[in-house]
Chains A and B, each alone.
Chain A
Amino acid sequence: MTNIYKPYLMTVAEIIEETYDTKTMKLLFQDEAVAKSFNFKAGQFGLYSAFGEGESTFCIASAPTKKGYIECCFRKSGRVTKALFNSEVGDTIGFRGPYGNSFPLDKFQGKDIVFIAGGIGLAPIRSVIWNCLDLRKQFGKITIVYGARTVADLVYKRELPEWAKSPDTTVVQAVDPGGETKDWTGKVGLVPVILEQTNPNSSNGVALICGPPIMIKFTLPVLDKLGFKPENIYTTLENRMKCGVGKCGRCNVGSVYVCKEGPVFSAAQMKELPAEY
């Protein structure tokens, strides 16, 4: 039997300060055999550990098309994330995964895709964005609507212009009213409002959405108004998790374990679940 709770040891290869409280970490597998064999799909997550403090759950924020490393993006908010935040290049941390299901990219072939993200919710969406941009010809028009509370809260600022340069790809950036700076050239407004103004094509389109629960709540009616069908809207539920493997009993919504049957659900699937997420 293998110890399913034993993490891979990872070397912190690069640290990028996304915001005042959020960092991206590039991680390399210390075991070369694992580094070669490790595969995952966009939307999957892992348990990241700062030894001595514990484990935290985040998505894998890099794309499966970028081999040999993984990236995570996290906000300093508790004991574990504070320790991870304070770690340095060259340090060792733990990683277990990949866990959960993924965004069904095979179903998105040839379709227009609109990505909608709020705040640090861009991290799991970014994995799919790079995945799609790296295989650009397989998909139709790509629209990215990204908002944060303030300019200082935007993550992946350096990558947003890069995405906009891809063929047939539109990037719309926004901050909440009051969150703009003098030199802000993006939009000012809440994500649901900006999405409605952007008016992405829904007839052959799918929408992927990730952000705070309140943003998702107000964005779903807009997607409906724009003509997106519930089965073509996908989100990723980020419930609190400890084991990641369907044992510890805290991430369930109804009889669904988010860590195993999720974290990716269509809006149609969400409608079948009790409203407890």
Chain B
Amino acid sequence: MDLSSADHDLLSGHQGPALQFAMQLVLQAAGILQAPHLIPVTYAHIDACFYNGQAHIDFAQFMLDHGAKFPIPAWTNNGVVSATHPHLYDGNPDTEMVEGARKLMQLYAALGCKPTWTCAPYQIPGGPKFGEHIVVGESNAVTYYNSAVGARTNKYGDYLDVACALIGKAPFAGLHTDAGRKAGLHFDVSQLPESWRGENIFHHLLGHHVGRMAGRRVPVVTGLLTTTNTDDLKAVSTAVAASGGVELWHGVGVTPEAASLDSVFARGDVYTITRDDLITAHAQLSTGRDGSLDMVALGTPHFSATEFRAVVETLDGRKSNIPFTITTSRFVWDYIKTKGWDDILKRAGVSLIGDICSYYAPGINGMKGRVMTNSAKWAYYAPAMLPVEVCFGSLRECVESAVRGEVWRDQALWSAR
């Protein structure tokens, strides 16, 4: 491998054992990837702050004890516990987990992370831009940054994310290269009614279907509307990463690298998305039958300001009649407070929780029974992790169902032919 003198300096231990160890890990990964050299990275979204046992703490402590500090902006993924709601863990029998998770969050703050504690860091201003090489671990953020932003990252597992961020470099391989970013299969949605393609739920269903078909390949989608917004891009990015292992997708005319089909796709299988594909995706994401409802859970990935606005507008002064939880980031939460939406939601019986994910959050696992969500990712993972059955629906269906206490279906949603 072609290493610079600065790389050799780190490897030799002249900059201390923390950076030496970090460089060893990066080179180990580069060797497996057969990368020709390392490239500078400008931003990291750290996943190793998500507690998974004492080894996570020992690793961060080792780096801190040896004077390591992130030289590039490093933002944090969700914590395992919420610092905005510490009382959630009162009486939790797994004190090892609760205390460990808190300790880990403190260690990463001490290493110089920006304490964003969110799985949707792209909703916070000041992040990476088109063409930047970055290091990201959280799957939906990997896919969003690659696809919707046009920044370049592979999916970095725990420890390697920290190691790359500490030395400010990553192996030049995979999605960092031009060749790695070409699409290998093509999905066309232009046969579907335009009104469907304007709905947010369409993007969740599309992403779920495409992810299942694509596996780890890069797909390209044609026929998306030019009005496709950031919440829609989030929906596709998150769903393709959950149902498949997609880390980059292109939307012709919608995502920044895909001005035309030819620019990202040379050859490969071509699929026309049909009404039946969407019906199948909807059925796969719905493990529960419609009827009385126990809960509504939104905010996977963390809710955006525009999604909050949609909930407030749909509630229109009405209250939820069942437990209704939304997870979000501190940043978005602070923003909606300035709009007065925080108080409106509180009065409507909607609980907001910061910093965490609701299907992997040992403190708030009061979630059980029949739960409705608008998130394909939540619908995909929650039934395996919580004692729940899921009713999948649009944001409007979720809010109307919360008000009614039973699943309400929007008859107009799929009526267009």
**Does chain A bind chain B?**
no
Interface, chain A (partner B; CB < 8 A): none
Interface, chain B (partner A; CB < 8 A): none
